[in-house]
C-alpha cells in the first residue's frame, strides 16, 4: 500500500483536480463582480486574477455562469438558508427580512442579481439557473410555507407559488431598481399577504 498520508501539501501537481485552482477561480469571479461589475467579468479576467490558465476554467466549467452558480449556491446556503426545521410564522418573516438584506448588502446578493440578469439574455443560462438554484430553492420555500400553513400559522389567499412570488417579487424588484426594502416594509408585505394568526 503506497503513501496514504493524504497531505494538503503540494497544491500544484498531480493528475487530480487542483482544489486551490478551483477556489482561486471562484474567489476571483466573486471579487471581480463585486469590485468591477459584471462587465469586467470575462473568463480572461477571471483567469488573470486567479493566476490560472483559461483552459483550466474551460476544462471544469462550461461557462462563466456555472462559476457564478457555484459561488451563489455555496454562499446562499451559508448566508441565507431556507428554514427547514419546524418553521413558524416568525421564521418565515425573518427569512424574508434576510432575503432583503442578502440582496442589499451581501456580495453574493450581487451574484444573484447578475444571474437574474444573465438569464434574461441567454435561455441556456435561464435553464441552468432554474435547475441549479431557483428550482431547488423554491422547493424548500414551498416546504417551509406548507409547514406553517399546515400548522395554521398563516393563511395566504394565493397558492404557494404565487404567494412566494408575491413576497419575494417586490423585494427583488426593489433590489433590481437599486432600492433597499426595510424590515417594516417586509413585515407589512408579510402580514398583508400571509395573514398570520400570531406574530
Partner DNA sequence: GCGTAAGCGAGACGGTACGTCTGGTCTTCCT
Partner DNA sequence: AGGAAGACCAGACGTACCGTCTCGCTTACGC
What cell does 90 get? 416568525
Q: Binding string, 57-76, against DNA, x = CB under 7 A? A: -xxx--xx------------
What cell does 179 get? 432600492
Window of 71-79, 81-89, 120-128, 142-150 that interacts with a second copy by CB under 8 A: 120-128
Q: CB 40 → DNA: shortest distance, Å? A: 7
User: Contact, 155 vs 61, CB < 8 A?
Assistant: no
Position 179 contacts DNA (CB under 7 A): no
Contact of residue 114 among DNA, a second copy, none (CB under 5-8 Å per partner type): a second copy
Distances (CA, A) of 97 to 35, 54, 101, 158: 25, 39, 6, 20
CB atoms closer than 10 angstroms to residue 112: 23
Q: How far apart are alpha carbons 13 and 111 in whole angstroms? A: 31
Position 185 contacts DNA (CB under 7 A): no
Query: Which residue of 27, 130, 132, 142 would you call a contact of a second copy, by CB under 8 A?
Result: 130
Grid cell 441552468 is found at 128
Contact of residue 123 among a second copy, DNA, none (CB under 5-8 Å per partner type): a second copy
Query: Which residue of 69, 92, 119, 145 would you call a contact of a second copy, by CB under 8 A?
Result: 119
Amino acid at each position: 500500500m503506497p503513501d496514504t498520508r493524504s497531505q494538503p501539501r503540494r497544491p500544484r501537481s498531480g493528475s487530480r483536480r487542483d482544489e486551490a485552482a478551483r477556489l482561486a477561480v471562484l474567489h476571483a469571479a466573486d471579487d471581480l463582480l463585486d469590485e468591477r461589475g459584471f462587465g469586467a467579468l470575462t473568463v480572461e479576467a477571471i483567469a488573470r486574477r486567479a493566476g490560472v490558465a483559461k483552459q483550466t476554467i474551460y476544462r471544469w466549467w462550461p461557462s462563466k455562469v456555472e462559476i457564478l452558480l457555484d459561488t451563489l449556491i455555496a454562499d446562499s446556503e451559508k448566508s441565507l438558508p431556507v428554514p427547514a426545521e419546524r418553521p413558524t410564522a416568525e421564521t418565515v418573516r425573518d427569512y424574508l427580512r434576510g432575503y432583503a438584506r442578502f440582496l442589499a448588502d451581501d456580495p453574493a446578493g450581487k451574484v444573484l442579481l447578475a444571474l437574474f440578469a444573465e438569464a434574461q439574455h441567454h435561455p441556456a443560462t435561464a435553464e441552468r439557473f432554474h435547475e441549479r438554484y431557483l428550482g431547488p430553492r423554491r422547493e424548500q420555500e414551498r416546504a417551509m410555507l406548507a409547514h406553517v400553513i399546515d400548522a395554521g400559522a398563516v393563511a395566504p389567499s394565493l397558492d404557494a407559488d404565487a404567494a412566494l412570488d408575491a413576497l419575494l417579487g417586490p423585494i427583488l424588484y426593489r433590489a433590481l431598481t437599486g432600492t433597499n426594502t426595510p424590515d417594516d416594509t417586509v413585515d407589512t408585505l408579510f402580514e398583508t399577504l400571509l395573514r398570520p394568526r400570531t406574530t
